[in-house]
Structure 1
Amino acid sequence: MLGSSSVSSLRQSELGSISHRVTNKAVTVSAGEEHFMLLDAQGQLWGGQSQKDGRLGHGINDSYYKAKSPIPISQKAWSQVSSGKNFTVAIDEKGKLWGWGANYNNVFPNVTTNHNTRPIKLSDKTWQFVSAGTSHFAAIEADGTLWLAGNNNDGQLGTGDSVTPNHLSKVNDDFDWVDVHARENSTIALKADGSLWAWGYNNNGELGLGYKGVSELSPVAMNASNDWKLLSQGIGNHSLAIKNDGTLWSWGHNVNGELGLSHEEQIYTPMQIGTKEDWASAVVGVNHSLVLKQDGRLYSFGDNSSGQLGNGERIDSSKPVYISDGWKSIAAAQTFSVGIKNNGDVYTWGAL
């Protein structure tokens, strides 16, 4: 159940009182800075924690009251959801793109209201994947083209300039994009040939291009082998990625050891974490990271000031720390983490 402390070595640290159980078994989870969204087996969306700006999508804009128990969002069936800093974007069962929450920096194309407490359709095109960052989002259309919207002050939309438009903007004319990670003020994307591309803000080396301090306004190929399989999701200034051989790599901001490399130095090109070849997925919070192995074992590293690593301590760790077994989906926020067990039960830990 939500908030349970009976999961193997997993312990809570200053959790809110969460006792509600999602009606249907949860399948995936996504976290923003202070909220999270769950997708259950029936395609129902549930939102939890901060309701500021309407980011949970259930009709409430409240800066003080938090949804301690996840609340269902509309009766529509959904296929994928991504939580940004203070907004949410999702794709419904028909492939249509929706958004709700804060609309600062023209995050939502052609929407003029700043606070949107209910889902608003953003596009009638058919979409296959969406990723929300701090103040922009990226979405891959069914034909493999990549589109972005929102803040573009650092070139994070990849359009060749730093002008913030009020519409979805296509990144070049390529049709082979398969994965994308919208981060704080930058974007990382993966092509079908296994190549990684990056653009936007680069003050922490988060683009993985071997240097920092120079923002890139258009996609630049990372100088790494073309054998990448999966990108992390989350709103931090660091990235994790998994190669086809199951190895785990990281780069970017590293003030709390969130890169998992046993030190706290920024890294400007992808570096391998350990030697294991059985990693399945990874997510990044503001300054911490969670990773899953193929057998469902959960590991975490980085900032642990609020207990968000889930190891029963409040000491940062710059290397992966084993938490427990039996997980299938994870998400990292700023001061807390969320995970779904193989049986569909949802757990939270850290400071909510």
Structure 2
Amino acid sequence: MKNVFIIGSKGIPANYGGFETFVEKLTENKINKEIKYHVACMGENNEEFQYNNARCFKVSVPDIGPAKAVLYDLYALKEVMKYIKTNNLNGSIVYILACRIGPFINHYKKQLHKLDCFLYVNPDGHEWKRAKWNIFIKKYWKLSERLMIKNCDLAICDSVGIENYIKKDYKKYKPNTTYIAYGANIDNNFMINQEKLDEWYKSNKIEKNNYYLIVGRFVPENNFEIMIREFMISNSKKDLVIITNLENNKFYDNLKKNTDFEKDLRIKFVGTVYDQELLKAIRINAYAYIHGHSVGGTNPSLLEAMATTKINLLLNVDFNIEVGSSAAIYWGKQINSLADIINNVETFSNEYIQKLGNEAKQIIQDRYSWDLIINKYEALFLNRI
């Protein structure tokens, strides 16, 4: 039996978030009975429970602000070490999602190696580039990433771009890397509760196939301001529907001040949609999806859009081009780039729109299906690739 301990997600069942959904899919769709998953979950107590045939263990962490995630990983790792030693689980894999605990990891790596266990890391995206962090936190993130890569036995990168970056920036450590993408599914038999969908459209004054859609965290590096400004100067008669979190968000107030978007009745912030079936239907019925993420690897919301939405308008950075390939249309940050594209896509024929949608779905099927991703992970964990 190969025991795999997963640290770094908030846990399962997944409510929201890329890592949480990844762990949910990995455990839910496990194929090989030789693998036993142990999943750290953030909680109010330290109880254990079974979910998707995985052993889940809650880790209680005091709320100390931005450092809570660091403490959570450390507490979880201590619990894992204790469990491995108590149960003599030599040969286990400890898989840490994101690079939060680099300054502390060498100590644990040495302990793991004494137990013939392995340390795997998913470096995620360029967390140290995110605008929400001050200069000191950015420096910590960069240092932590460097030390995680230096000390891990394997870095599992979810995009080719991230893998190339790791190999280049940390060349002196001769990092051992592999590429396994994030996943998404094509659901050709998808059925939605029509009453629920109609009610959502009615309450937000939105019409089916008459809106552009943005889904993502409301942070500067996702380029909301550029997308909104460009939409405002476009000639589109359609709406711009924005699904995002706005709670206690100073960025939102600055955006209102800088753009006066509230005067444009086409622009509609509709809050978050945690109901995944409803969100899928909203994506399917969008005229086009606009993606402005500029930091990170394979983005889950982009994969979901490619799996559902026919027209995908993506910011032209390497990570997005890697996913979208020839099935998407790319815009830059310069003035009128996205606005001109919006004006142009509304002249597309139905045949061309259908062609783009089919190509996008084929990319998901060929490169990013959860079946493919899970098979790769299981082969890796069992040392078969």
Q: TM-score, normalised by structure 1?
A: 0.29
Q: TM-score, normalised by structure 2?
A: 0.27
Higher share of residues assigned helix: 2
Higher share of residues assigned strand: 1
Q: Quick check: which has more Rg, 1 or 2?
A: 2
